[in-house]
């Protein structure tokens, strides 16, 4: 992203986030700065960064830095610097457990702040990002001195944007994409109640946080002044709030823990279409290529449960792992909890990527503006894009050329492959001309074939491609590998 204001922060009345010289900075007004400076000076901000997922933050104090920023923006602001997080993801690209962990991160931070006399004025998942599989709270300017300590003013927002989506996903089968893309500000309590029905409101897990608040809302209609007086009444004891936050934390964890991935793709690795020899060879070839070419960033499209995402991360790459199947990415994310690595999991259909949404369609940027890799892994995905997404070979090629800055590892699946025939199902077979030679011909309009290998005991082949606009370097040839053929197509053997 170019230097300048970050569109997603324009709603904050206390300041804004901007990029300057590759750094992530925040301009804040004097009131916000005074609160944060106290927390910085007593070590609270550093402690929260180390133990509770708050983004690392420093006050910009160098006179030259301050002067440069004031010349561009204003001397009425004070300036902070945050660690830079890439890529940025949004809750409509998360799994249920990711949203639950983002909620727990928010609750834990609020618990610590409440005990220190502070509070978060916002409770939205858009304030959380994931780094190496762990949630990180990024909106430092959300920290404030509250009007009263026994209640959390952002609790209603927490319900709408965290708890209710979790309940709808867990018990009604809704997906986060439909929830957050269409309604970034969440669903009202009436809409959520309607989704569960009148009998559903009697379920114990809904009573405290949905049914009872809904009843109070009905009873208090027309008494807005009374509610305002209640909110401004001073209260210095945080104990009631802390008890409620701890209850919500346990409830959130329980909702997520009870979710069981059930999709066929989440268990695909248990019965995929490879022999052990073919899978071992594929793994070794891809790992060898990544170690030889040393990409700093890898995008694993159609990552499934992340086997090759972990391989790429183990070679030192920063990985974006994206798949359209929620449960497959859920399994990947749970693996990351046990084995943290520099992998960012995302739920998304690369053939129909997340658009720009929000104010002027710029508040949340499109997926294709946020992810790009030195290398793209497109493994066992081409036939899905051709059949299910109804893309042409040229369309797939152009899409991969946008996603990569240099290399692509493409797995070609021939039309007589069992999985290809399964996907085709009862559709009309329009793929009579789809051969390895045809695939090679289409892709070499934008790529150079560095290496091509037929997987042993398989009809599938790996093509190691490099953008023609990137610096071309031939790879070392392994005599045990089958080089790219110069004659007829070899896909039918």
Question: Which residue, of 201, 233, 259, is where some domain finishes?
Answer: 259
User: Are 272 and 255 members of one domain?
Assistant: no
Residue 181 lies in a domain: yes
User: Are 382 and 456 members of one domain?
Assistant: yes
CATH of the domain at 270: 3.40.50.150
Identify the burial level of 89 via C-beta atoms within 10 angstroms of its C-beta, where 0-12 means exposed, 13-18 middle and 19 or more buried. Answer: buried
User: Where are the alpha helices (H) located in 347-458, listed in sequence order?
Assistant: 382-387, 393-403, 418-424, 436-443
User: Are 268 and 339 members of one domain?
Assistant: yes
pLDDT value for 485: 33
Phi, psi of 294 (to 5 degrees): 50, 55
Residue for token pair 């790992």 = 287
User: Are 271 and 385 members of one domain?
Assistant: yes
Question: Which residue, of 29, 59, 84, is where some domain finishes?
Answer: 84
- What DSSP letter does each residue of 108-144 carry, written as one string? HHHHHHHHTT-EES---GGGEEEETTEEEE--GGGEE
pLDDT value for 74: 86
Residue 487 lies in a domain: no
User: Are 148 and 175 members of one domain?
Assistant: yes
User: Are 383 and 335 members of one domain?
Assistant: yes
User: Are 135 and 8 members of one domain?
Assistant: no
In terms of phi and psi (left: phi > 0; alpha: psi -120 to 50; beta: otherwise), the region of 3 is beta
User: Are 392 and 275 members of one domain?
Assistant: yes
User: Are 136 and 205 members of one domain?
Assistant: yes
Q: How many CA atoms lie within 13 A of 351 on its CB side?
A: 19
DSSP H or E run through 164: helix 164-172
Residue 383 lies in a domain: yes
Residue 492 lies in a domain: no
| Whether the Cβ atoms of residue 161 and residue 185 lie closer than 8 Å to each other | yes
Phi, psi of 12 (to 5 degrees): -75, 115
Among 452, 442, 464, 444, which Cα is nearest to 490's?
A: 452
pLDDT value for 474: 52
What pLDDT tens digit does each residue of the chain (493 aa) get? Answer: 578 999 988 899 999 999 999 999 999 999 999 999 999 999 899 999 999 999 999 999 999 999 999 999 988 899 999 999 999 999 999 999 999 999 999 999 999 999 989 999 999 999 999 999 999 999 999 999 998 889 999 999 999 999 999 999 999 999 999 999 999 999 999 999 999 998 999 999 999 999 999 998 888 776 655 555 555 666 678 999 999 999 999 999 999 999 999 876 666 555 556 677 888 999 999 999 999 999 999 999 999 999 999 999 999 999 999 999 999 999 999 999 999 999 999 999 999 999 999 999 999 999 999 999 999 999 999 999 999 999 999 999 999 999 999 999 999 999 888 888 888 876 777 777 899 999 999 999 999 999 999 999 888 999 999 999 875 455 544 433 433 333 333 333 3
| Whether the Cβ atoms of residue 269 and residue 308 lie closer than 8 Å to each other | no
Question: Which residue, of 65, 84, 103, is where some domain finishes?
Answer: 84
Note down the domain range covering 66: 1-84
Residue 248 lies in a domain: yes
**DSSP letter assigned to residue 160:** I
* Separation between Cα atoms, residue 200 and residue 186, nearest integer Å: 20
Residue 483 lies in a domain: no
Structure tokens at 54: 């708050």
pLDDT value for 274: 64
Residue 335 lies in a domain: yes
Q: Domain total for the chain?
A: 3
Show the CA angle centred on residue 364, arms to residues 363 and 367, nearest 5°: 150
- Cα distances (angstroms) measured from residue 364 to each of 84, 101, 165, 368, 372: 17, 21, 19, 12, 17
- Where b means 16+ CB within 10 Å and e means fewer, 131-152 reads bebebbbbbbbbbbebebbbbb
Q: What beta strand segments (E) does 307-431 contain?
A: 318-323, 343-347, 373-378, 404-412
Residue 486 lies in a domain: no
User: Are 109 and 139 members of one domain?
Assistant: yes
User: Are 153 and 94 members of one domain?
Assistant: yes
User: Are 113 and 187 members of one domain?
Assistant: yes
């Amino acid at each position: 992203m170019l230097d300048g204001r970050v569109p997603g922060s324009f709603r904050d009345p206390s300041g804004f986030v901007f990029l300057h010289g590759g750094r992530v900075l925040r301009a804040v007004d004097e009131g916000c700065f005074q609160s944060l400076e106290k927390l910085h000076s007593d070590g609270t901000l550093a402690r929260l960064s180390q133990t509770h997922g708050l983004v690392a933050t420093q006050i910009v104090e160098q006179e030259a830095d301050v002067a440069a920023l004031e010349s561009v923006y204003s001397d009425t602001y004070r300036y902070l610097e945050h660690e830079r997080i890439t890529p940025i993801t949004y809750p409509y690209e998360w799994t249920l457990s990711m949203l639950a962990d983002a909620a727990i991160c928010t609750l834990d931070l609020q618990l610590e702040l409440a005990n220190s006399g502070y509070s978060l004025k916002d409770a939205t998942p858009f304030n959380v990002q994931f780094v190496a599989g762990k949630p990180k709270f990024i909106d430092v300017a959300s920290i404030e001195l509250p009007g009263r300590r026994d209640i959390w003013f952002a609790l209603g927002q927490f319900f709408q944007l965290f708890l209710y989506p979790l309940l709808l996903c867990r018990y009604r089968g809704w997906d986060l994409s439909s929830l957050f893309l269409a309604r970034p500000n969440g669903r009202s309590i009436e809409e959520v109640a309607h989704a569960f029905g009148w009998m559903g409101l009697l379920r114990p897990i809904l009573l405290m946080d949905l049914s009872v608040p809904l009843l109070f809302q009905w009873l208090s209609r027309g008494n807005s002044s009374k509610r305002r007086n209640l909110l401004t009444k001073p209260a210095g004891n945080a104990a009631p709030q802390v008890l409620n936050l701890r209850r919500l934390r346990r409830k959130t964890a329980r909702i997520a823990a009870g979710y069981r991935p059930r999709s066929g793709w989440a268990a695909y690795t248990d019965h995929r279409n490879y022999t052990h020899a073919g899978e071992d060879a594929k793994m070794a070839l891809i790992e060898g290529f990544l170690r030889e070419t040393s990409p700093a960033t890898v995008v694993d499209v159609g990552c499934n449960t992340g086997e090759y995402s972990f391989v790429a991360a183990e070679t030192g790459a920063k990985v974006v792992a994206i798949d359209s199947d929620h449960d497959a990415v859920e399994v990947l994310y749970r693996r990351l909890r046990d084995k943290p690595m520099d992998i960012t999991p995302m739920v998304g259909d690369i053939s129909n990527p997340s658009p720009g949404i929000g104010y002027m369609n710029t508040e949340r940027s499109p997926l294709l503006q946020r992810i790009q890799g030195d290398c793209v892994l497109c493994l066992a995905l081409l036939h899905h894009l051709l059949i299910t997404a109804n893309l042409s070979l040229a369309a797939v090629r152009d899409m991969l050329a946008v996603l990569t800055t240099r290399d692509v590892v493409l797995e070609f699946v021939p039309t007589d492959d069992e999985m290809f025939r399964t996907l085709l199902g009862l559709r009309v077979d329009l793929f009579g001309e789809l051969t390895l030679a045809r695939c090679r011909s289409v892709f070499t309009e934008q790529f150079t074939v560095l290496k091509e290998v037929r997987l042993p005991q398989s009809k599938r082949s790996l093509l190691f491609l490099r953008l023609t606009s990137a610096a071309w370097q031939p790879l070392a040839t392994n005599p045990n590998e089958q080089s790219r053929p110069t004659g007829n197509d070899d896909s039918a053997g």
